[in-house]
Amino acid sequence: MTAKSDGADMSSPGWKTREQMEADERHVLAPFAQKSGESRGRKFPETRHAYRTEFQRDRARIIHARAFRRLEYKTQVFLNGTGDHLRTRLTHSIEVASISRTIARALALNEDLAEAIALAHDLGHSPFGHSGEEMLAECMREHGGFEHNRQSLRVVELLENAYPGFPGLNLTFEVCEGLQKHQAFYDPPNQGDANYRCASLEAQIANLADEITYYSHDLDDAVDFEILSASQLEDAAVWRRSHESVTARYPSAREPELRKLIIRDIIDVQVSDVITASAAAIAKAGVESADQVRQQPLPLISSSEELLTANRELRRFLYQNVYYHPRVAEVNRRACEMLRTVFEAYVLAPDRLGDVATKRIESEGLHRTICDYIAGMTDRYLLEEHARLAGTTSEASTR
């Protein structure tokens, strides 16, 4: 089979080669998209794959990582195991990846890169959701702190041990760049360039898709968990607008189908708005390459001002009515106290960490090693470890 791309003949033995895929990207993607063939590469050089691009390899490494599988048993908002249909960190990450691909495709950007970043963005999240993150940050307050985006980088750069030649997953610069969410990324894309504050458009998409996903699906889960009433939901402009739109189109719709239609409409409105607003911002900026995107003073992927205002209101609504709701907050508080107890027990007896983690104490320090170990736990494992340590303590106190 002979394929032509960019005016060059490239023969392959019956499948698309990586070179052909890279040529397709150059032909199909926008000039300001991040092409896999123009990746800045990996920290530890590797031979390129015959029929997978660099970002496709990254995506596969993330999906096959143990840290990714553990996301199935980590809390999104509601403690894992309290409902069969409630989101976990795993389902949340998959939903973020889906929305990321939709936006990237509409803007002629690199879907593989956006998806890889989305799938990896919560690899460093602690058990028990944001409450667990706050507790772990408190435990680490005098020892460098804890923040799940930085921890995601530690997972892919150090803590995963799937390859004999290097620590971590050895992902490309562009995926690691995308995990620097909420931080300035100071490594310039070309030698001699000034420091820059913006990542690729694909990274910006994954960041915003994360927000779209939890805005809509946290509402959905809160209704499933029966802590939001119909009258409360009408207080949120985002919900009210989609409710009116859906009932106008489907006047006979009733619960639970009505809620599903509303959630889908919320997502569609958010995604459509991001695509339209971002396309206008990109055109206005006049960027012609991925590196020019990085040199922008502000991100180019964003919602319109109207939707930004509505989303800020929705965020306040979720904190007031969902995240701080007694049924959520009290369960999370008890779980986080267990996290603190386990952390303190490891400080007193580091040998409980096991051989693999204990070996890192010399290079990473005791508290950081404990933090890495606990951050990697699932909700279930931390609860089991707390029970085991409590049993050990009880036995010791009776001697």
Dihedral in degrees, nearest 10, Cα atoms 28, 301, 265, 72: 90
Domain positions in the chain are: 28-390
CB 39 within 8 A of CB 159: no
Domain 28-390 in this protein, CATH class: mainly alpha
pLDDT above 70 (res 361): yes
pLDDT score at 399: 30
Contact 79, 329 (CB under 8 A): no
Please give the backbone phi and psi of residue 168, each rounded to the nearest 5 degrees, phi first: 70, -160
Partnered with residue 3 across adjacent β-strands are 10
* CA 336 – CA 328 distance, rounded (Å): 12
Please name the amino acid found at residue 277: A
> In angstroms, how far is the first alpha carbon of the chain from the final one?
77
C-alpha 45/C-alpha 170 separation (Å) is 9
What share of the chain has pLDDT > 70, as a percent? Answer: 89
Q: What is the DSSP letter of 67?
A: H
Report percent pLDDT > 90 for the chain: 77
pLDDT digits (tens, 9 = 90+) for 120-153: 999 999 999 889 999 999 999 999 999 999 999 9
Give the list of residues 6+ apart from residue 182 with CB closer than 8 angstroms, or none: 147, 149
- Contact (Cβ atoms closer than 8 angstroms) between residue 199 and residue 180: yes
